Amino acid sequence: MGRTYFLLTMFLVALLGASFAVHPVEAAFSDHAKELTKVTGVRIGKADGSVRIVVDSDRPISYKQSVLSNPTRIVLDLQNAWIAPEAKKNTAVDSPLVSAVRVAQFDATTVRIVVETSVGKGGWRLFSLTGEKPRIVMDFGKPPAGGKPAKPVQEAKKPVPVQPPASEKDNEVEEEEHDSERLERDLSAITGMKGRLIAIDPGHGGSDSGAIGPTGIMEKSVTLRVSRELKRLLEAEGAKVVLTRTGDTEVSSKGSGATAVEELEARCEVANRANADIFLSIHADAFTNREVKGTTAYYYTKGTKQSKRLADSVRMALIDAIGTLDRGTQTSNFYVVKHTDMPAILVEISFISNPDEEKMMNSEAGIKKIAQGIADGIADFFG
């Protein structure tokens, strides 16, 4: 009892701390928005064998560059900058050099540009031009035909070498870099579910059944049923939903021939390419001891506060809905929460190895409650 009160007090103290920490940032944004450099546009030009991306701003702008792999993404964080909401965009580029350009307000003072590219080290040039029309230019492939390459006035930081292609070991190397690059989306400008793009990943599928319960219920079918119902509920609230799979299949185009990493990579890619606002991977837990039960939500060990908040919101609403044991919000290095560009969580609904929870997760009523709980949690998150 005493311990419970102690924990409750600690929780309230933490909650107070968190709310004090959040408000000054919000205030700062409105007070200082005028002092920020405005990103007025991002232009993408394509010519034979080249792609040029130009970022226009009303004043010279400083930026940090980093490179992520799987797929290769060049991330430019423009400092002390803001971009009008209508200028935010997600452009697919039909070129073998660059496949997509995403532009968004990353936090109160940073505009983030993510370029998905297939070129390796030395395959692009990045420089900024000052003067009347300040701009940052990225050239991929040979300089655009019909003109000399623009002269770098102020050479920026040297491009970070691109990591060699995927292998698990390289992923580990790359992830060190990824840690500081988690996207804190600016989700404060709009509230509610309407217009949100939500990526839902029904865990496992196809040749991978996931965990199997005492009576043979497979995790892959529970996660798909929950995800379909969740999609229906979220769409009814005005959100858009992208599912990584809609049937009992693998997500990777290699099907059952895909490695575990390729399969998980394919799931992240669905969310990243769609530029989803949030990502949820749905799973059911299992343990050798059939007594063990409860709900857990995970976010990436070095993930954002937004991911943690999403995990907390979904977990608490889910527990309200299905009344199982609260196993808390935990951090993890699960591939899908690590390699997604948006607030991302993995939810273990409850234990399929526990006979009662298996039964609940296999019932129509149970599926409905679970989906409603998760949807309520997402609604809480968006506020």
Residues in contact with Zn ion by the rule CB under 5 A: 203, 210, 283
Closest residue to Zn ion, judged by C-beta, is: 283
Tokens of 270: 């669905």
Residue whose C-alpha is closest to residue 259's, from 208, 223, 308, 298: 208
DSSP character at residue 149? P
Neighbours of 253 (CB within 10 A): 9
Q: Report, in Å, the least distance between residue 285 CB and Zn ion.
A: 8
Nearer to Zn ion, 167 or 259 (CB): 259
Q: 355-362 and 219-236 helices cross at what angle (nearest 10)?
A: 50
What three-state secondary structure class fits 288?
Answer: coil
Q: Report, in Å, the least distance between residue 204 CB and Zn ion.
A: 6
42, β-bridge pairs? 55
Q: Report, in Å, the least distance between residue 337 CB and Zn ion.
A: 13
Nearer to Zn ion, 144 or 210 (CB): 210
Nearer to Zn ion, 114 or 218 (CB): 218
Nearer to Zn ion, 203 or 303 (CB): 203
Tokens of 30: 């409105």
Nearer to Zn ion, 283 or 308 (CB): 283
For 210, phi and psi rounded to 5 degrees? 75, -155
Q: Report, in Å, the least distance between residue 362 CB and Zn ion.
A: 16
Nearer to Zn ion, 174 or 201 (CB): 201
Neighbours of 334 (CB within 10 A): 18
Residue with tokens 């290095």: 333
Nearer to Zn ion, 70 or 296 (CB): 296
For residues 205, 206, 210 and 214, what is the CA-based torsion angle, rounded to 10 degrees? 110
Q: Report, in Å, the least distance between residue 203 CB and Zn ion.
A: 4
Nearer to Zn ion, 275 or 296 (CB): 296
Longest C-alpha distance within the chain, in Å? 77
Q: Report, in Å, the least distance between residue 224 CB and Zn ion.
A: 12
191 Cβ neighbours under 8 A, 6+ residues apart: 382, 383
Residue 41 is inside which H or E element, if any? strand 37-47
Q: Report, in Å, the least distance between residue 210 CB and Zn ion.
A: 5
Q: Report, in Å, the least distance between residue 239 CB and Zn ion.
A: 24
Q: Amino acid identity, residue 315?
A: R
**Are 270 and 205 a contacting pair, CB within 8 Å?**
no
* CA gap 265, 252 in Å, rounded: 8
Nearer to Zn ion, 205 or 210 (CB): 210
* CA gap 203, 222 in Å, rounded: 9
Q: Report, in Å, the least distance between residue 244 CB and Zn ion.
A: 13
**Are 202 and 280 a contacting pair, CB within 8 Å?**
no
